[in-house]
Amino acid sequence: MEERAAPTQISTGSTAGDTTKQDLSAVSGANLDRTNGVPIFINRNYALLWVGRTISIGGDYVFNTTLVLWVSIQVAAGQSWAPLAVSGVVLAAGLPAILVSLIAGVFADRWDRRRAMVHTNLLNVGLIAALIPVALLPTSTLPPGWKLSLIYLLVFLAGVVTRFYIPSSVALVGEIVDEADRPRASGLNQMSYSLCSIAGPSLATLFFFIFGPPLAILLNALSFLAASLTVLLIHPPRTPLRTPSRQRRNFWDEFRTGIDFCFHHTILRVLLIATALIFIQEGAERALTIFFVGQNLHAPSGDYGFLLTASAGGVAVGALLTTVFARYLSMGRLFGLSLLLAGGLELLYARQSNLLPVLIICSFQGLLFGAFNIALSPLMLHAAPDHMRGRASSILGTLTGVSIMLSTALAGWLDSTLLRNFHTMLFGVTFGPVDTIFTFAGIITILSGCYALVNLRRVRLKGEHSRVKAN
């Protein structure tokens, strides 16, 4: 479930009200156009947040890859249940997104977000560091079953803590970045994820085989500590934006209010539905791409990694291009078009039988997903008032997690049962089980893009009106 340089609307009047607006804009880091000297990281507060987040994301990618290697190669080495043990790690890390996110969103709207981020990061330092003695203990001292149980428990708890960090982090961007600059901030965030997703697994593999799992675990713990230090240096503006949430109502009243608000607000409802639909395609690809490589492309399973690299590279390029040209784009239109085109490419992807065209398609799909992710956050922050942003972010994250989990399970079930021996020809085109599932996923994505384009066509973020006229 998170970059543009645009003119900021700062009043130049001489009244007391105008002076207050100018002061608040200066504190929050509102900037002039890039041609007038806007720094690439928008303002000091966002630069600190970006640095801390990038360090933390890099640590997470190294850590997650290390966990898979550690469990499969050492803890469950030679065991028939090794794949199940690795799946347990993925499940332990992913469950908090579904179980805890909605509750965490309420607290993100109640707490001081900066302090919440510092405290959650420090908690994760302790939880991740607790895995180091587990990694150092020999199997003879601690049987594999006990070691796996401790790994699952600590990974799950760290995931729970992270779910309280994420909505606070997303909402903090709304406090420290002016609306006209949020697409650029979103693009910079996406670039962090993309670059870390490319470099992190490779570094983790190198560290694992040279130093073993303890070093990667220590690096991840230190990354949370570094993120805490950067957040401590952030000084958000003091504004009365969250006054409504400070009237401490019953927790469940705030919980229900958040859900009711998100599904009755036109823009947020569109974002939620369209995002849930696009991740049906993501879930299907996660479950079946490895089989698509063998059955449809007739390529060795090892080529699966090339598809992941091509997609990650496309996301990075998409984030870069969108960040550079964001000032010329409408976020609502970008959101819908990226979904529409990604669905069209999925239909083309499903019909391929050679690796090279698939690599090209994956690159362009990654580029479109990068653009989609960049548009999502500014649109959400635009639609949700400050005292609702934690809950809006958490509901979006929960819906995304549920969509991926259900679509992954459904795609795997269909390929294993109902469509196991499915082969047919329609209008001279042959359909098998995996490409049929991908085709339906692509159609759903196209429909989600059309739905978003129709309903977001009038949405304009701050500064988009003036840019359209200027261009």
Spatial contact of 151 and 134, defined as CB atoms under 8 Å apart: yes
Domain 16-239 matches domain 254-470 at the CATH topology level = yes
Beta bridge mates, 426 = 429
- Domain limits, the chain: 16-239, 254-470
The H or E element containing residue 246 is: helix 243-246
Residue 3 and residue 374 in contact, taking contact as beta carbons nearer than 8 Å: yes
Each residue of 398-413: b (16+ CB within 10 Å) or e?
bbbbbbbbebbeebbe
416: enclosing H helix or E strand: helix 389-416
Domain 16-239 has CATH 1.10.10.10: no
* Largest CA-CA distance found in the chain, in angstroms, rounded: 76
CATH superfamily of 254-470: MFS general substrate transporter like domains (1.20.1250.20)
| Enclosing H/E stretch for 49 | helix 44-69
pLDDT at 35: 34
Distances (CA, A) of 67 to 63, 281, 380: 6, 26, 33
Q: Residue 424: in which H helix or E strand, if any? A: strand 424-426
- For the entire predicted model, the pTM comes to 0.74
> Closest Cα to residue 463, out of 298, 331, 357?
331
Closest CA to 364 of 335, 338, 334: 338
Q: Rounded distance, CA 224 to CA 418, Å?
A: 45
Cα–Cα dist 184/378, whole Å: 9
Say how far apart CA 291 and CA 300 lie, in whole Å. 10
Q: How far is CA 353 from CA 300, 356, 415, 433, in A?
A: 13, 9, 18, 14
Give the list of residues 6+ apart from residue 37 with CB closer than 8 angstroms, or none. Answer: none
Residue with the two structure tokens 């993925």: 90
Tell me, what's the pLDDT at 348? 94
Instruction: Kindly report the three-state secondary structure assignment for every residue of 68-95.
Output: HHHHHHHHCCCCCCHHHHHHHHHHHHHH
pLDDT digit string (tens) for the chain, length 471 residues: 333 333 322 222 333 333 333 333 333 333 333 434 446 778 888 899 888 888 888 888 888 888 888 887 888 777 777 767 877 887 788 788 888 888 888 888 888 888 888 998 899 899 889 989 888 887 667 788 888 889 899 989 988 988 888 888 888 888 888 888 888 888 888 888 888 877 887 788 888 888 888 888 888 888 889 888 998 898 877 654 444 444 556 878 888 888 898 888 999 999 999 999 988 888 888 878 878 888 888 888 777 778 878 888 888 888 788 777 766 778 888 899 999 999 999 999 999 889 899 999 999 998 898 888 888 888 988 888 888 888 888 898 888 888 888 888 888 888 888 887 887 877 767 888 888 999 999 999 999 999 999 999 888 877 665 444 444
- What 3-state class would DSSP assign to 139? coil
- Cβ–Cβ under 8 Å, residues 314 and 198: no
pLDDT at 451: 94
Instruction: Output the six-digit token pair for 51.
Output: 């640095």
